[in-house]
Structure 1
Amino acid sequence: MWHSLVRADNLFGPRHALTAVHQQLDVLQGLLEDSRGEYRHEVLRLSAQYAESAAWLHEDSMDMASAETWTSRAMEWAMEAGDEAMLPWTLFRRSQLAAGKRNAGQTIGLAQAVQRHERALTRPMKAAAIQQEAQGLVLDGDESACHRKMDEVHEYAASVDSSGDARSGHGDFCTPSYIEIQRANCWLNLDRPDRAVDTFQTALAELPDVYQRDRGFAQARLAIAYVGIREYEQAAAEAAAVLDMARGSGSGRTLQEAVTAGNALAAESNVPAVRDLLDAVKESAGF
């Protein structure tokens, strides 16, 4: 069931998976009250797995307080269970949350802490951690170190044949195309929208179909990059393409990025495509 929920999230977004994840967490927390010994360890491992999923789904829904709560719960349960794979993964998730707050030092430090758990990491998990360190380096303004890490991470990338349900373990989303989307985000954060546009376009063309939620978020970021190079019609087209998806899926992150692009285009309302986008953004205000 957990694998099905992961796949549903990748295809449709958090709204379609969050309720089911919490239903399973309610069951698991009830089992933990009466479980002991090895049986308790098994329940703890599964509880940590679901808690980490809940954390991600809340983050994608822009409920950051709940994301932090469930990440902490996942870490606690993984520690109690002695789950050597889940524990570094919760550090990775904490690094992602730190990046969302633009805390460069914590982002880098936690990503490096993940990599010290070498024995427990699969190659895709290591890839995820290395690219996360790169996200921290770009927040620190260290362009050359960021791109050295982004080059290194390809050595550990997940298979392009990923089914999108994490059956090969955490980090199986970290395919070569995902890595290049993250590189494009680096270019955008370095105020190089020209490089970001080219990188986004290439990576999106190669992104596996199963990662529709990632596709929407990347398109929204691409829209912002187009604003940066003053291609306003194309920016409006990209942002408009993901607005409905973001509303329907509950992906607040994607909606926020699309709205950011719309706001950046406000001065160009004389362009018909931009005017239509701004009207759509207003309709999204009550999301």
Structure 2
Amino acid sequence: MLAEHRRAEDEVGGRDLWPIVRSQVDSVTALIPHASGATADRLLLLAAEHAHWLSWVAWQENRRGAALSWIDLAHGWAIDGGHVDMASWAQRVRAHYSLKIGDPVRALRTAEGARHGGALPLSPAAEAAAVHQVAMAAAACGERDLARRLADDSLALALEVPDEGERPGWLYWLDPLRARLQAADTAYACRDWASAAAQFSDTLPDLAERFPRDHAHYRARFEDARARA
């Protein structure tokens, strides 16, 4: 059900689905006290995934306090269940939020924690997402050479797992196309206008039908980069 809600949110947003997913969180967390071992760990991951979804939708609706509260819950549940990929992802989302509100130094610190903060290694896809966020924060801090190197690292990691089944469920979207778009986004953040425009141009045509809202976002960046090149 959550996978379907993720895809629906990609297309139409999550406002109407919010009550449903919020109810699902209650259903999942009610089971946790009665479970143990691997079953409890799996429920904690499921709760964290739901909390991340609620956080993301709240952020889109400009409910920042709710967004931060839900992502903190997601991170806590991920830690409790021993899920390093989800814990990293929750920190990555917090870094994204910090960057969006104009706090790149905090974003960089948080993104570095998402990349290196766990006791166990991340999966390639989870590391790719974290490294990309470090790159975006580094670019915002003026560390453009570092950001470019990290963009290459992130792309290489994402290309290691081109099949959706090899990635965590919440990274269903991080296929080779989206990985190249993230590289273009870093070039844009580094003000490498010509490079960003060329990379966006190569990838945008394949995005329109699958992720229309993201297509509109990246299309605007492409047009801006092309105008500045």
For residue 284 of structure 1, what is the aligned residue in structure 2? Answer: none
State the distance in 2 between where 1:5 and 1:63 align.
19
Query: Given residue 144 of structure 1, which amino acid in structure 2 is its aligned partner?
Result: D
Partner secondary structure for residue 14 of structure 1: coil
| Aligned-residue offset at 1:28 | 3.0
Mapped contact 1:131–1:179 kept (Cα < 8 A): no
The worse-fitting range, judged by mean Cα deviation, of 89-98 and 56-65 is 56-65
For residue 8 of structure 2, what is the aligned residue in structure 1? Answer: 8
For residue 111 of structure 2, what is the aligned residue in structure 1? Answer: 111
State the distance in 1 between where 2:187 and 2:41 align.
43
Mapped contact 1:22–1:54 kept (Cα < 8 A): yes
For residue 22 of structure 1, what is the aligned residue in structure 2? Answer: 22
For residue 277 of structure 1, what is the aligned residue in structure 2? Answer: none
Among all aligned residue pairs of Structure 1 and Structure 2, give the percentage whose two residues are the same amino acid. Answer: 22
For residue 54 of structure 1, what is the aligned residue in structure 2? Answer: 54
Q: Which has the higher contact order (CA 8 A, sep 6+)?
A: 1
Partner secondary structure for residue 85 of structure 1: helix
TM-score for both structures, normalised by structure 1: 0.67
| Aligned-residue offset at 1:222 | 2.8
TM-score for both structures, normalised by structure 2: 0.81
Mapped contact 2:151–2:186 kept (Cα < 8 A): no
State the distance in 1 between where 2:82 and 2:164 align.
28
- CA offsets, 1:4-61, max 9 Å, x none? 21222234333354333222123334445x5464465443332112101111222233
Query: Given residue 132 of structure 2, which amino acid in structure 1 is its aligned partner?
Result: Q
State the distance in 2 between where 1:147 and 1:183 align.
9
Mapped contact 2:197–2:226 kept (Cα < 8 A): yes
State the distance in 2 between where 1:167 and 1:122 align.
8
State the distance in 2 between where 1:82 and 1:104 align.
29
State the distance in 1 between where 2:187 and 2:42 align.
43
Query: Given residue 102 of structure 2, which amino acid in structure 1 is its aligned partner?
Result: R
Mapped contact 2:126–2:168 kept (Cα < 8 A): no
Partner secondary structure for residue 137 of structure 2: helix
For residue 179 of structure 1, what is the aligned residue in structure 2? Answer: 179
- CA offsets, 1:86-134, max 9 Å, x none? 2222112212112212322222222222222373522111111111110
Alignment length (residue pairs): 226
For residue 129 of structure 1, what is the aligned residue in structure 2? Answer: 130
Distance 1:41 1:155, change over 3 A: closer
Distance 1:216 1:161, change over 3 A: farther
Mapped contact 1:160–1:208 kept (Cα < 8 A): no
Find the structure with the greater CA-based Rg: 1
Query: Given residue 77 of structure 2, which amino acid in structure 1 is its aligned partner?
Result: W
Partner secondary structure for residue 84 of structure 2: coil
Q: How does 1:1-287 map to 2 (within 5 A)?
A: 1-15=1-15, 17-31=17-31, 35=34, 37-38=36-37, 40-116=40-116, 117=118, 119-157=120-158, 159-160=161-162, 162=164, 168-207=168-207, 209-226=209-226, 228=228
State the distance in 2 between where 1:9 and 1:215 align.
14
The worse-fitting range, judged by mean Cα deviation, of 107-116 and 70-79 is 107-116
Query: Given residue 15 of structure 2, which amino acid in structure 1 is its aligned partner?
Result: R
State the distance in 2 between where 1:211 and 1:220 align.
14
- CA offsets, 1:175-205, max 9 Å, x none? 3332332333334334444443222211213
In structure 2, the gaps of 5 or more residues are none
- CA offsets, 1:194-223, max 9 Å, x none? 443222211213448433332222123334
Partner secondary structure for residue 178 of structure 2: helix
